Structures are given as structure tokens and as C-alpha cells.
Structure 1
Amino acid sequence: MNELAKNKREPLLTEDFFDEEISIGRENLTQNAYYLQHRYSEVVKPEILLFSNFSERYALLSLEYSRGQHIETIRGEFVDLVNSLEHYKHHPAAENFFFNGEQDEYMQAVTLLSVALLLHVEADVFRRLTDVIGAAGQDYVLEWLVSRRLPERPPTTTKLLFPKTYARLRDALQAPPDLQPQLLRSFLAGWYESLNTVWYNIHAHRPDAAGFTGYWCWEAAAAAYCLGLDDTELQTMRYYPKDLADYAFGRKPAPVA
């Protein structure tokens, strides 16, 4: 843990907080697996356990990045995250929660696609993720992210489900190359303040900060990588996941201080 303690990426809260949250998440996954294996449907419905598995793995993705986990380790666990989402979405009682009108759930889809691109996940994993999200025709940003890995699926809409947050990103994606860096910086600069999510400022609003996993604009890094932009200035900005961007661009990580 010493190396991770030196390499904590999220400046808010402590190493101990992230260690405890990660431990709780893994304990919940173990409990869910036990209930599913022994078919304790009288205790918790299977679809609830399957959704819980996805939610725990989704939270762990950000928690581990915030805590300082190695990118290759996070990449290795991403397939399990996709598997858990598939298992839930294939259950007859599953809901299409990504598009329920709430920004929290929509941003889960944005995060999953962005991180998948930055991690260079295998093509079949990315395709499975795209299929299970079901983003076709829903939103320009989601379709643009999909098209970066699956060019046969170009955006079919210019609409945005959450324009207050993503209009500036759409402008950057559609702009001439010489304007893209400036517009992407503008998007990132206003990203956090534009959000209308349950987890906005959650680290300060809850005494125990439960639910806080770190604040990261994964989509800014995915856009910079996919557009091939010089992200030197972005790397100095809050909320930019610079280590994951370095991984995507193939840059060697900076030495641990």
C-alpha cells in the first residue's frame, strides 16, 4: 500500500477513506455472489443483486483510480464490469436505466465508453459494452464515443440529453482542428459546475462522504485522445484524469514522488 499512498490521484479525502470504501465494495460483491450462488431469492431478488454487482464494480472503477491503482490492474477488471452490466441487462426484470432522464445514470454510460476507449479494451469487449448500453439514436456524445472504436456506427443524431453540460463538448468535437483544444479546455473548465447529479459535492454534504468515488471528467480525456490533441494544458486542470490519458496516449507514467 505504500506505493499507492504516494500515488493517490484524487486530492479530496484521505487514503484511509478510499481503502475503506474499496474494502466495503469488495465485501458487497462477495456477499452478492454468495446469495446468487445459493439462490437466496427470498432474501433479495436476483435482478437486485445483479444490479448491485454492476453498481459496486462501477464505483470501484473510480475508487481505485482515485486511490492510485495501477492502470493495467484497472484495465484487467474492466471486463468484469462489462460482464456484470450484461448479466443485469439480460435479466427479464432489468431496466434501461441509462436513459431514465437522470444525469447520474446517463453519465455512467459516458464514463463506461470513455474509459473503455482510454484503456484500449479489446474490440469485442467494446462492442459488447456498446450493445448493452443501447446508445443508438439517444445522444450525440454517446454516439460519437461509440464511433471512435466502431466507425461503422457513426452518430445518427445531433441532440444532447443534457445540453447544459455537454453543448461545449459537442462544439469541440465538431469544430475545426485548430479550435478543438480551446473548446475542449472550455468544456472541462465548466464541467463540474454544470452538473445536476446526486453526487455533486457529495464529499462535503455527507458527514461520512459515503458515495464519493472521486470527481473525474473521463470524457475530456477520451475526446483529447480520440482527436489526437496536445493535452498539455488539460493535464494541469482539475478533474482531468491525466494518468489514464497518459496510458491512452502511450506515455510513460511520471515517477512516484
Structure 2
Amino acid sequence: MDKIKREPLLTEAFFDEEISIAQENITRNTDYLQQRYAELAKPEILLFSNFSERYSLFALEYSRGQRVEILKSDFLQLVETLERYKQHPAAENFFFNGEQDEYMQAVTLVSIALLLHVEVDVFRRLVEAIGANGQDYVLEWLIGRRLLGRPQTTQLLFPKTYARLRDAIQAPIDLQPRLLQAFLAGWYESLNTVWYNIHAHRTDAAGFTGYWCWEAAAAAYALGVEDAELQTLRYYPTDLADYAFGRKPKLA
């Protein structure tokens, strides 16, 4: 059965080409690391590249319509590539460098891990590789849905984007659905990222992987919020939410 594209922007051909490029880059990097590691002046560059390529590949595959069960296997490989990079002595804790792009990668990874119900050991390894240690309320709240004893903080690193999500998390149960909808409705316009509107302002759209607010689905699942209205809004990853809630995704 042909895959049904989830991301409405751009074509199947665009995603097929970008997926092919990412896979080729991963293969080339991996070959270099396996065969010529000792010759490389800075192997951490290729290790980081492999993580970045796999991070992009996951979103590309989801946008293109890959089945959730296959994406779960791909996600485990993504975690492993992050671990390999972070184990290198020259690795940087880039998730907390002050840029929203990198911070949102951490939020995305934890959100997807929650939605895919990864094993708790994998979840713990992911959190350790991210280097989360009480830097941000939203990130710690998401992590705390699976791991106990997390650091407590009220700090929001990017309040313009995440104050509404914090408010939804802390609100009475009857207000949470409406506040989550408000967060998702304003999510995209609140962003200050290099990939904002990238599908339109680059002629080749290189770097576009699809626009998805994974954290809205993770919060809805963790809070047990009825998400029928959220599913009608742009940027909500419905198939991953369906998987998390135990409903059958359209593309299982």
C-alpha cells in the first residue's frame, strides 16, 4: 500500500527525495566512522551529523506517511546516535545553548518518546543524553511523566512559546482542553527558529521536514485530555496521538 502523506505542504516527491538524501548521508557518515575513525581529526562532527540526519529523517518519514510501528524502530536508532555523539569527549550540550531550535529538539525527543511508549530504560538513556537537569519547566514536566524524582523548576526558557502550555498543564482539569487548544493554535506563530516558514522562503525548501507540535500531543496524552478538537487543528500529530492513546492510527 502506498504511504499517505501526512504533511499537507509540499509534494510526495519532495519528501521522497529528502528522505533518500538523509539516508545516503547517514550511510556515508557511518561508513567513515566504522572504517576510518582513527584517521578523522574530529570524529565528533560526523557523530553529530548522524544524529542531526536521523532527527530530520524521523520527521520526514512521519510527514511522508511512514507507519508508526516502523517509526518506533527508527526512533530507537535516533536515540543511539545521540548517545554516541554525547559519549565523545568533545561533545557539546547543545540543547541548552540559548537557541530555541536546539531546545525544541529536546522537547521533541522527549515528547515522541512518551507518545511511542518507549521502554523506560530507553527513556532514561534519552534524558541522560539530552543532559536535562532542571533547566526548564516544560521539559522537566514531560520527563516527569516517566521518571520520578526529577529536579523542580518554574523557569521557562522560551515563555513566548511555552507559557500557554505551562498554563494548560497547571490548570484545573475542566480547563485543560481549551487551554491546550489555545497553545496549539498559537504555537507556530510564536516560534523564533531558523526553520520557521522554511518551506516558503527557500526555493528548494531544503531543511523542511514538516511542521508538527509533538509536545501538544504528548501533553494531551499525559493529562488524559480528550483530544478530538486538537485533532482538527494544524500541526497536531494525530497518528502519534492515536498510538499513544491506544487508538488505531490511520497509518498503524
- 1:244 alignment partner AA: L
How far apart are 1:136 and its partner, in Å? 1.5
- 1:206–1:252: structure 2 CA closer, same or farther, 3 Å change rule? same
1:192-242 per-residue CA deviation (whole Å, 9 max, x = no partner) reads: 000000000000010000000000000000000000010000000000000
Extract structure 1 runs of 4+ deviating beyond 3 A. 40-44
Residue 105 (str. 1) matches residue 102 (str. 2): yes
- 1:23 alignment partner AA: S
Contact 1:136 1:156 in 2 (8 A): no
Q: Hey, what does 2:47 align to over in structure 1?
A: 50
Alignment equivalent of 1:22, drawn from 19, 22, 40: 19
Q: Hey, what does 1:156 align to over in structure 2?
A: 152
How far apart are 1:151 and its partner, in Å? 2.7
Q: Hey, what does 2:191 align to over in structure 1?
A: 195
How far apart are 1:73 and its partner, in Å? 0.2
Q: Where in structure 2 are the equivalents of 1:207-246 lying within 5 Å?
A: 207-246=203-242
Q: Hey, what does 1:129 align to over in structure 2?
A: 126
- Measured in 1, the distance between the counterparts of 2:251 and 2:214 equals 22
Residue 61 (str. 1) matches residue 58 (str. 2): yes
Alignment equivalent of 1:86, drawn from 68, 83, 87: 83
Contact 2:111 2:218 in 1 (8 A): yes
- Measured in 1, the distance between the counterparts of 2:225 and 2:188 equals 22
1:3 is paired with a residue whose SS is: coil
Alignment equivalent of 2:7, drawn from 2, 5, 10: 10
How far apart are 1:163 and its partner, in Å? 0.3
Contact 2:198 2:207 in 1 (8 A): yes
Give the structure-2-normalised TM-score.
0.97
- Measured in 2, the distance between the counterparts of 1:254 and 1:90 equals 38
Give the gaps of 5 or more residues in structure 1.
none
- 1:100 alignment partner AA: N
How far apart are 1:253 and its partner, in Å? 2.5
1:149 is paired with a residue whose SS is: coil
Q: Hey, what does 1:75 align to over in structure 2?
A: 72
- 1:190 alignment partner AA: G
- Measured in 1, the distance between the counterparts of 2:145 and 2:101 equals 23
- 2:83 alignment partner AA: E
Q: Hey, what does 1:39 align to over in structure 2?
A: 36
- Measured in 2, the distance between the counterparts of 1:67 and 1:49 equals 26
Aligned residues with identical type, % of pairs: 77
Contact 2:66 2:251 in 1 (8 A): no
- 1:196 alignment partner AA: N
